Amino acid sequence: MESIANPNKDLVRSLNSGGELRVDGRGSKVGRPLVLVLDRHEGEASAELRLGRTRVLAEVKGDLVQPFQDRPNEGMLLFNVDFSPLASETFEAGRPPPLAIELTRLIEKMVKESQAIDTEALCVINGERVWCLRVDVTVLDHDGNLCDACVLAAIAALQHFRRPEVTVAQQGGDLGHTEVTVHHSDEKLATPLPIHHVPLAVTFGLTHANEDISEGAQALALLDPSMREEAVMAGRITFALNAHSEICAMHKLGGAPVGAAQILILAQEARLRAKDLHAWLAGELARADSCAAALRSERVRGSAFAGNGGGSGQAIEEKNEGLKFLEYGDLHHTFVTKEEGQDAAAREGQSVGDAKGSLREAIEAAANVRALPGPHETERKRARTSGTLRALNFRDLLQT
C-alpha cells in the first residue's frame, strides 16, 4: 500500500512520529467533520455524506420481484459501489477498480452478513413476490477513508427509506391469481425497514514512525486517515460496531503487524467513536423525518381539499394567484342586492325631481320677488335674468 516514490512519506512520518500531530492539524484520535443531506421520494431514498473532503452518495430503491428459488420467503438486499472518474485522478471510467469491489464486499459483510436487516420481513407472497432493495453507492470525491464514508452513507439511506404499503387480493377464487397493489405514501403511510441493529464502520490507519515493521514494533494508529496518510500507511484495520457497542465485523488489510493488546485498545477507541456517530446520525435522521412528514401533510391536505369540491390543482393555483392582488378593503366590500338597488334608484329619481323643482322656484323667486323702482332698472334686470336662464342648461337643472 505504500508508494516508494511518494514525496509525502517523510513528511507524514515525521509529523506522526510523536502521535500528537497530523498533516491536517488533527490529533491521532480525532475524526474529520461530517455533513449529511437526506432526501426521500416515492419508493426511494438517498443520502449524500461529506467526511472532510470525501463525498459519497448512496441511493436506495425498492421494487417487487420474484424471489430466489432456494430462498422463497426472503427479500433481496444488493449493494454496489461505483467510482466517479472525477472523484480522483487515479480513477478511470470503465471496469471498476479492486478498491470498489473490496468496499462492496465489506459493506455486505457488515450489513448483510451481520443480519442488520430482517430479509424475511421483506416477503410479500411466499415464492412469488418479495421486496428487492438495491443500494448504489457512488464516490464523488476521494480524500481518504472511503470505507467509513460508504458504510455510513448506505446505512443512512437505508434508515431514511420508507417501504410502500401493499395490498394482496385473490382474484378468481382459489384457482385464480394473486394481485398485489402498491399504495402511494399519500394514500397509506409507508413504513420503515425492519432494521435490527445499525453497524457503523470505524477505520484506523496503521503506520510506523521509522522503517521498523517487525513483529515486536507497535504500529501508530490514526483514526479516519486522509488520502495523504493512506498513501504512506502500512495497513488499516476497520471495526463495525452497533449502538450497543457490539462488534459486528472486523477487517484488517495490509502487512503491518498488530498485537492482541493493541487490537483491544483500538476496539475501545472505536467504541467511543461509534457512539458519537450513532448519536449524530440519530439526530440527522430525526430532522429529516420531521421535514418529510410535514411535506406529506401538506400534500394530503391539498389533495383532500381538491377532492371535496376544491377543484383541480390548476384551478386552486389560479384562485390563489387572484387572491394575492386583493386587499383588506376589497375582501370587506359591501355589495348591493337587486331589490336594494331598485329602491335606491327610485329614491335617487325622486330626489332629483325635488331638486329640479326647488331650482325652478329659486330662479323664479330671484327674478320676481323684488319690486322694480323704475323702467330702466326693470329692463336691465329682465335682460340679466334672461341671460341667466340662457346660461343654465339641462345638466345644471339636474344638479343637486
Domain that holds residue 225: 9-166+179-304
Q: Both 300 and 347 in a single domain?
A: no
**Same structural domain, 256 and 358:** no
Q: To 10 degrees, what angle do helices 260-305 and 146-160 make?
A: 30
| CA contacts within 13 A on the Cβ side of 359 | 17
Identify whether residues 87 and 228 lie together within a single domain: yes
Four-CA torsion 102, 108, 109, 110, nearest 10 degrees: 110
Q: Indicate if 282 and 374 belong to the same structural domain.
A: no
List all residues 6 or more positions away from 12 whose beta carbon is below 8 Å from its beta carbon.
23, 207, 228, 229, 231, 232
Q: How far is CA 159 from the centre of its chain?
A: 14
Q: Does residue 2 belong to any structural domain of this protein?
A: no
pLDDT at 305: 59
Q: How far apart are CA 21 and CA 28, in angstroms?
A: 7
Do 297 and 345 reside in the same domain of the chain?
A: no
Contact 242, 197 (CB under 8 A): yes
- Are 80 and 104 contacting, i.e. CB atoms less than 8 angstroms apart? yes
Question: Is residue 254 a contact partner of residue 233, using CB atoms and an 8 Å limit?
Answer: yes
Q: Residue 1 domain-assigned?
A: no
CA 346 to each of CA 257, 341, 351, 365: distance values in angstroms, whole numbers, following the listed order:
109, 9, 9, 29
Contact 140, 84 (CB under 8 A): yes
Residue 183 lies in a domain: yes
Residue 338 to residue 240: CA distance in whole angstroms: 80
Q: Are 66 and 130 contained in the same domain?
A: yes
Q: Where are the alpha helices (DSSP H) in the chain?
A: 9-16, 98-107, 146-160, 227-230, 260-305, 313-323, 328-331, 338-368, 375-391, 394-398
- Pair (38, 131) in one structural domain: yes
Handedness of CA 9, 14, 19, 23 (dihedral sign): negative
> What pLDDT, on a 0 to 100 scale, did the predictor assign at position 13?
60
pTM value surpassing 0.75:
no
**How many Å apart are CA 196 and CA 169, to the nearest integer?**
30
| DSSP summary character for residue 278 | H
247 plus 356 within the same structural domain: no
Residue after which a domain boundary falls, among 279, 304, 329:
304
Residue 214 lies in a domain: yes
Radius of gyration of the chain (CA): 42
In a domain, 312, yes or no: no
In a domain, 81, yes or no: yes
Please indicate, yes or no, if residue 311 is contained in any of the structural domains: no
Q: Domain containing 198 — which CATH number?
A: 3.30.230.70
Position 348, amino acid: E
pLDDT on residue 370: 47
Q: Is 378 helix (H, G, I), strand (E, B) or coil?
A: helix
Rounded CA separation 147/99 (Å): 10
Q: What is the residue whose three cell numbers read 342648461?
A: 393
**Cell numbers for 194:** 425492519
In a domain, 44, yes or no: yes
- Let me know: does 75 contact 193? Beta carbons within 8 Å: no
User: How many Å apart are CA 110 and CA 113, to the nearest integer?
Assistant: 6
Work out how many domains the chain is built from and give that number.
Answer: 2
Give yes or no: residues 208 and 344 share one domain.
no
Q: Which three cell numbers stand for residue 357?
A: 323643482
Give the per-residue pLDDT at 255. Answer: 75
Both 245 and 389 in one domain: the answer is: no
> What averages of pLDDT result for each successive group of 10 residues across the chain (400 residues)?
51 58 83 95 94 95 92 93 83 80 93 92 92 95 93 96 90 72 89 94 84 62 90 90 93 85 94 96 95 89 62 49 51 51 60 64 62 51 52 50
Q: DSSP 3-state assignment of 389? A: helix
Cell of 13: 512520518
Q: Which of these three, 280, 304, 328, is where a domain ends? A: 304
Last residue of a domain, one of 304, 330, 364: 304
Same domain, 150 and 267: yes
User: Is residue 223 domain-shared with residue 353, that is, in the same domain?
Assistant: no
**Coil, strand or helix: which one is 59?**
strand
SS3 42: coil
Q: How many angstroms separate the CA atoms of 65 and 338, rounded?
A: 67
